[in-house]
Amino acid sequence: MPFPPAKVAAAAIKRWLLLLAAVLALGIALAYTPRSYTQIEEARALRERGQLVQGVIVSYRLLTGRNRCSSSVLVEYSVQKVAHFLRAHGCGASPEMKPIGTPVDVIYLPESPVTSEITMSGLSVPRASWALVFTMWSVAAGLSLAAFLVWSRTMGSPRLQNAP
């Protein structure tokens, strides 16, 4: 007994959507892995070779609201008389705690002073981690496996082979 045409069409649409999701997940993982690796290496280099310099808080951007606590602080620091800026994010800063003009410690890479990190508690420069890379590839692998299983099962089913 063949499936009704509406069910066959819905099943075909779901198969294609699953395949599209798998392809998109693989594309995202492929696109973001090199960038994530660079950010992970920057964090490692800052821990190993970072130099300490005094910076000054230049501005705040407070983003508060319902179930939200986020702030962004802009810090200016100088390396060899060249000014650099660092924007850090988190929930641990406010103008009441550390007013504009307050000195803060900044760690930078001597070979690339633009690569830097703030040492103020509750704030950090957003960088990728191995957990993010692992999660991206796990989602991509899971969707790819699901798409493969669905498509291989469908191709072997005599009732759905002639489906539109």
Q: Containing domain of residue 21, as a range? A: 5-160
**Model confidence at 157: pLDDT above 60:** no
Q: Note the pLDDT of residue 79.
A: 95
111 vs 13, higher pLDDT: 111
Arithmetic mean of pLDDT over the chain: 84
Euclidean distance between CA atoms 81 and 84, whole angstroms: 10
18 vs 156, higher pLDDT: 18
**Model confidence at 93: pLDDT above 80:** no
Radius of gyration of the chain (CA): 25
What H or E segment, with its residue span, contains residue 149?
Answer: helix 130-156
DSSP state of 94: -
What H or E segment, with its residue span, contains residue 20?
Answer: helix 5-49
Count the domains in the chain: 1
Q: What is the mean pLDDT of residues 19-41?
A: 93
Model confidence at 32, in pLDDT bands (50, 70, 90)?
A: very high
CA distances from 101 to 75, 77, 94, 104, 115 (A): 9, 12, 13, 9, 22
pLDDT digit string, tens, across residues 42-72: 989 999 999 999 999 998 887 766 666 677 8
Q: Note the pLDDT of residue 106.
A: 94
What H or E segment, with its residue span, contains residue 41?
Answer: helix 5-49
Residues in Cβ contact with 45 at an 8 Å cutoff, skipping those fewer than 6 apart: 109, 115
Q: 144 burial class (0-12, 13-18, 19+ CB within 10 angstroms)?
A: middle
Q: In what order do the strands lie in the sheet with 103-109?
A: 112-118, 103-109, 51-65, 68-79, 82-90, 123-124
Q: Note the pLDDT of residue 58.
A: 93
